[in-house]
Structure 1
Amino acid sequence: MSAFTALSASPFSSLFSSLGSLLLWAGEKLAPLFGASGTAVAVVLLTLLVRLALHPLARSAARGDRARAALAPRVAELRRKHSRDPERMMRAVRELHAKAGVSQFAGIGPVLAQAPVLFAMFHLFSTGSGGAELLDRTLLGTRLGGRWADALGHGGPFGAQGLVYAGLFVLVAAVATWTYRTARAAAKAGAAGGDSAGDPALPGMAGFAKVAPLLSFGMLVTVALVPLAAGLYLVTSSTWTAAERALLRGLRTPGPKAPAAGRGRRHGSAT
């Protein structure tokens, strides 16, 4: 018995069936506006609702990023102070972040929280647990349960179905390019602020930080391999992420309080 078959026979099968019924119902309601593509639009709207529900987590992650950036000079100072004792340096950085209330994993929250929805979308349109009718719903004539290879078999890359995927690939490439350039600019800004080696409190983060901006281009391969409905979810979610980051870039966090010693010196000078 395959993993998907076992999952379909589990209590989760009712949840998948309910989600499939919801998408079919929403597709019928949207049909007067979008015709046969109503269910595809329902997938996009579901994605937007999930991301809207996760927006508070994204705001928290943005505040954490800005707080870490504000602590960068102090982290660089600890790095210089404990350059010969990496273990002590990591412990000191963790203590600094803990005192400032900064979580190292805040940015992972939105990704992990939407993973079940993405898996459900992949499962629905891969196994047909939501019904064959759901698999046969289309986006501009391209089956939501189909893949890029299927589209290539119906007219090639420039056929009607191939052009649907071409549009998705262009959008993914545009978002990935923006993400890459933004990450590179942030890395340069961090280097100028004295935090060019990544977070020393998390071993391996320096190397990962250099590779991470390129990972967004990997979605091109993912969209080509997964069912079209799951690809729609990924493309919509990644576009939301890019727009959300652009909007939250100006999010302000309270600056660090002035040290007591500094205030004492000011009072002393006044007297």
Structure 2
Amino acid sequence: MDERRGRRGGRWTAPAEVPGAVRAGLRDAVGLVLPVRCGGCAAPGAAWCPGCRRAAGVPLPGSGPVPGADPQVWAATACAGPVRLAVTAHKDAGRADLRPELAGLLATAMHRALVTDPGLRAARPDGTVLVVPVPTSRRAGRRRGEDAVAALTATATRRLGDPSLTCRPVLRHTRPVADQTALGRAARAANLAGSMAVRAADLRLLDHAVCLLVDDVVTTGATLAEAARALQAAGAVHVVAAVVGATPPTTSRARVSA
């Protein structure tokens, strides 16, 4: 196996054609002999260096939701610089060692939503808030070897330790969608329209449910909007979202990904 095919940003990753479980084992084994590099700046020595941790800890202005997003979404920080690189490495390069750091940021955003949004506050502490990760497509899941967003969401939910939170991956993709990288806001919305639904086995959970939808980043908001539509179509009465980072605005609008 050509090692050059398996290294990204100083971190070894198995080629995409290797099955997911095998890839995970290979990453663990190779990690014993190759130096760990920071997921934000590639400096050797740790998965997340002190400088990148400080940069990631700078919150967005205010404690409210990201302006212009529908559903309303809370973000821990800006998805730029080391945060953007770490999110990409976690999701696309198999850097599960970054999950504790990203989960800490996500838990911060989730907590802000839980204490700020009236609908979430009303559902706690006597009721239940359903925490729902945005689903990874089957193709992406096979390529990555896991659903990184679902794993990140579960880790952040456990970190909060709130008994009123129930984390469940109830959403599924109903059809393939095009790569969104080069698409604008309107094209992303059209590409995703009607592409998600609640799994049949989980429909009962959505009856009058209050949901906290979770993704790693938000860029145009199209993915979160489609996920919220699917939850509401299944019976959810209130849906807001939380993400690790929000893409900094280039105009007066905030932009979002997924």
TM-score range (shorter-chain normalised) is: under 0.3
The structure richer in strand per residue is: 2
| Greater relative contact order (CA < 8 Å, ≥ 6 in sequence) | 1
- TM-score, normalization: structure 2? 0.27
Please tell me whether Structure 1 or Structure 2 has the larger radius of gyration of its CA atoms.
Answer: 1
